[in-house]
Structure 1
Amino acid sequence: MFLTLSADPRSLNSGSGNMGEHVETLVIGAGPAGLSAAHVLARAGRTVTVLEAQGGVGGAARTLSFDGFRLDVSGRRLSSADPAIRAFWTALLPDDLEIAPGAMRLEGEGAAARGQPGAALGALISAKLRPIASSKTLGEWLTRRFGRRVARRLSAYAEKLWALRPEDTPAQPACPSFRSEAGVRPRQGTGQLWKACAEAIAQAGGEIRLERKVASLRRDRASGVWTVSTLAPDGAEEVFTADQVISTMPLRELMGALTPTPISLFHACELMYRDQVTVAFNATPGRRRAPALAEIHGAAIKAARVRALDADALALDYYCFEGDVLWTADDQALIAQAAGEAQRLGLVAPGLVRDAQVVRQRKVHPIHDEACDEHLKMIGLDLRLHFAGLHLAGRAGAHGDSAEDQSIRTGLSAAAAVLSRVVAPSRIAA
């Protein structure tokens, strides 16, 4: 099915596409980064087309509706110290944003704490009096911020997120995940923001084509024009050409789709990502009130986060690698595991769960191991030398850090580069 966003912001209409059509900028991916970039370009009067593999907009920030509750797939708040980013989402939803509290911390089956995770005063004083001079690893950063005893307790959560010990995880890309500032959220879920953004793009003359999976990208060196091949839902090939491309595809997948084969493809193949499995359900509340958002730091509980949804519904988030045992597990087994862990946390009473749903989301967290910087450096050099006019955006697209506003920030930056006629990709090394 060919879908575009119509000029009417209330609907999605069907139509038929043309082969080989040309636009100034193609944006790959209709998640927060791609939509942010397309919004800037469309409002600047540039012709822009967004290609999205899924059947809706928002990517991991989409909101799904089930019987009895809504589910934000990513579960992230809108939080940023950048006034430009705050102005961006406020302009899209001026009357539909509400305060969202910072994340709570759950120590397994113990009590919950907000912000600093129950740090003992003595441990904090010790960390301040005998600080580590510079934090090269996440383990050192956690010790400086919280003290050694608390840092050891946080290690389990870090391993859930990245499958790496904090001692093996570089500090800079990882530490934003341990900041629990309050933020804002749309009243109808984060998907509301990105639907509003998509509607604004359409009203400004941009186009969003859903269910268009990008298969290959090629740049003609003589003309500088990009040719992007996509697969439609019926398997037919559709071809687009553009002066510049903004890609939010996972960087590893993008490098594999480029022609000619990048010399840094080996480095791209070494990049890793964590995938997310979310189990959401209704159940009778337990002895503890479910928090709006809580990170679970106890190693005995395999879930990394728990979130209260509408009414008595809640969701548990698990991180894994695509294809491993958790990712491929039967839905009923996942539901039973999540319900059991919610009971152990005291969030639901023993008994049957209702309206259970399992949602799998690919590549939500880029992994930064000790070799990642070198891989990104070589990829960035290759792109600048051989693939001018290609810009990277998004967490997975730029293999960026874990800051809440990372996707929007990189989308706005990529759009600014296009408007400034910058043809070299942005530096991507962390």
Structure 2
Amino acid sequence: MSARTANRGGAKKVDVAIIGAGPAGLTAGYLLAKQGKSVAIIEKDETYVGGISRTVEHEGYRFDIGGHRFFSKSQQVVDLWNEILPDDFIQRPRMSRIYYEGKFYSYPLRAFEALWNLGVLRSTACMVSYLRYKLFPKKDVKSFEDWTVNQFGHKLYSIFFKTYTEKVWGMPCNTMSADWAAQRIKGLSLWGAVTDGLKRSLGLNKKPNDGQAVKTLLETFRYPRLGPGMMWETARDKIIAMGGEVIMGHELENLASDGKGGWRMSARGPDGLTVIEAEHAISSAPMRQLARSIQPLPQTTLDASNLKYRDFLTVALMIRSEDLFPDNWIYIHDDKVKVGRVQNFRSWSPEMVPDEDVACVGLEYFCFEGDGLWSMSDDDLVALATKEMDILGLVDPAKVFGGAVVRQEKAYPVYDEDYAANVEKVRTELEEKFPTLHLVGRNGMHRYNNQDHAMMTAMLTVENILAGERIYDTWCVNEDAEYHEAGDEGAEKRIADRREAITPDQAAALNSLRGVPERIAAEPDTDAQDKRDAA
């Protein structure tokens, strides 16, 4: 128990109780502790913090669960990363490709390259299909399939989007919300990329043919030398050093309102029940789980119960070989195998792999908790991964000498047809009834945020708590943000610096690019507050 955590009647008494020690929960805990607030964080995992951003170690080999590039347009996020981990970032080359029918394609797609690799007949069919849907697009766009077909034509959709997307989500593309496609495949102009490629081939355009008309994708990114878990393990240690608590191996059992705006949280661990009383509660737990745990039970618990999650597992293979490929990861668009993506851990950081003569790769399998893949033994999964790397022609099975399996439950909130309505109902009730309960992060808000967006929801939540009122709408974070790491790092701050010089209409337009919300209500017009807003 920390020096600033009081025990009253067997309960720990803190200013803020936090559920989950992932990027959002640890960001909130760190910033609150810096402001002198007492915090207690519960984490279900017995060993690792960081959630899906953790780094798992096995016999000296380190595995990044999901792959995490440290890039953000928010200067606040970049500054916080540098503050927590000032001396351990390295600069790494960025490379991702798609594997399809034995050939590699750049990711994001470079349309001219893709059409060239596909050959004359298939490329012609792709362009005819593309023009058909540009001239006669689907009118009622509801699903991922509708949106993507309108953007690229049915032929390119079936080659480069359908197989992989259905592997990831375990559901047909025509049942997935168009919101998903609009958020994750934004900004690629097929016709612009083709004409750019033709000009380039004729020497008329010297710009990089990156498949994006305006934006340029990052060629390098920063990365902690021992993996993303290094960031969150350091954040945990700093929270504890400031007097906070991070209680491992404890899962939320009950979160009860005390009727006065505060909370009494019960968490079950190996030694029994831990009870924490707090003025505020921050939750990055899956919204479905949280709704079932709140007392009194929300009326929208049934809506929350309809929210779905996709799980996945990583099978790491140790291979007697030099590095197999330079990519950070490769997307596998091939229905002959179950694997969806292959990571090369040395390409993330050389220090992730202790032996220079060994390649270490991670095969990612998307599944549902309890299904056939999830329930397979570790040995069978290692055998499956070895076989599939052989089928793809990427590894000689005789060179594989070891393996490990890491399972990650509730890795992705599912964007089905009803998710938005269900989330909105739960959010509205909780905000109206419980103003001191704050939802943050990917699963807490049931939004497929990147790491920096999850952190930003926590950073703005801390501002709300410190102000004593809801001055920021955290649900605006990443509402209209683009997935790919395009543009300049920290660009949001520069936009904010220009805010006073632009019109309200311009400010509204820029806000959709910033991914960081404006305040809900105007603050007192003081110089100090203006500086704080700009930061």
Spell out the pairing of 1:174-253 with structure 2 (5 A cutoff).
174-178=181-185, 183-221=221-259, 223-234=260-271, 236-253=272-289
Compute the displacement of 1:247 (Å).
0.3
Pick the aligned partner of 2:36 from 15, 37, 45. 45
CA contact (8 A) 1:247 1:397 kept: yes
Pick the aligned partner of 2:463 from 416, 419, 424. 416
- Give, in whole Å, the separation in 1 of the partners of 2:42 and 2:154: 47
CA contact (8 A) 1:287 1:348 kept: no
CA contact (8 A) 1:173 1:402 kept: no
TM-score (norm 1): 0.87
Which amino acid is the alignment partner of residue 231 of structure 1?
Answer: R
Question: Identical aligned pairs, as a percentage?
Answer: 29
CA contact (8 A) 2:23 2:232 kept: yes
Spell out the pairing of 1:3-22 with structure 2 (5 A cutoff).
19-22=10-13
- Give, in whole Å, the separation in 1 of the partners of 2:154 and 2:107: 19
Compute the displacement of 1:81 (Å).
2.5
Compute the displacement of 1:22 (Å).
1.4
* Structure 1 partner of 2:336: 300
Which amino acid is the alignment partner of residue 265 of structure 2?
Answer: V
Query: Deviation per CA, 1:112-156, whole angstroms, max 9, x where unpaired?
Result: 434216532875784996495896533344345555432222111
Question: CA, structure 1 residues 167+50, in 2 after alignment: closer, same or farther (shift >3 Å)?
Answer: same
Greater CA drift, 130-139 or 65-74 = 130-139
Spell out the pairing of 1:223-372 with structure 2 (5 A cutoff).
223-234=260-271, 236-285=272-321, 289=325, 291-309=327-345, 310=353, 311-351=358-398, 353-372=400-419
1:70 paired to 2:62: yes
CA contact (8 A) 1:177 1:402 kept: no
CA contact (8 A) 1:291 1:307 kept: yes
- Give, in whole Å, the separation in 2 of the partners of 1:64 and 1:384: 36
* Structure 2 partner of 1:83: 75
Pick the aligned partner of 1:119 from 110, 114, 118. 114
Compute the displacement of 1:352 (Å).
5.6
Pick the aligned partner of 1:152 from 152, 158, 165. 158
Q: Secondary structure at the match of 1:192?
A: helix
CA contact (8 A) 1:400 1:406 kept: no
Which amino acid is the alignment partner of residue 258 of structure 2?
Answer: D
Q: CA RMSD in A?
A: 3.1
CA contact (8 A) 1:142 1:151 kept: yes
Compute the displacement of 1:308 (Å).
1.0
- Give, in whole Å, the separation in 1 of the partners of 2:243 and 2:7: 16
Greater CA drift, 173-182 or 83-92 = 173-182
Q: Secondary structure at the match of 1:34?
A: helix
Query: Deviation per CA, 1:342-370, whole angstroms, max 9, x where unpaired?
Result: 11222211326223101111100000111
Compute the displacement of 1:68 (Å).
4.9
- Give, in whole Å, the separation in 2 of the partners of 1:99 and 1:288: 17
Greater CA drift, 92-101 or 242-251 = 92-101
* Structure 1 partner of 2:192: none
Compute the displacement of 1:281 (Å).
1.4
CA contact (8 A) 2:96 2:106 kept: no
- Give, in whole Å, the separation in 2 of the partners of 1:333 and 1:424: 52
Question: CA, structure 1 residues 282+307, in 2 after alignment: closer, same or farther (shift >3 Å)?
Answer: same
Point out where structure 1 has 5 or more consecutive residues left out of the alignment: 7-14
TM-score (norm 2): 0.71
- Give, in whole Å, the separation in 2 of the partners of 1:92 and 1:367: 31
Question: CA, structure 1 residues 146+187, in 2 after alignment: closer, same or farther (shift >3 Å)?
Answer: farther
CA contact (8 A) 1:127 1:143 kept: no
Point out where structure 2 has 5 or more consecutive residues left out of the alignment: 117-123, 187-216, 346-352, 480-535
- Give, in whole Å, the separation in 1 of the partners of 2:236 and 2:426: 31
Q: Secondary structure at the match of 1:246?
A: strand
Pick the aligned partner of 1:138 from 135, 140, 144. 144
- Give, in whole Å, the separation in 2 of the partners of 1:143 and 1:419: 46
Which amino acid is the alignment partner of residue 157 of structure 2?
Answer: A
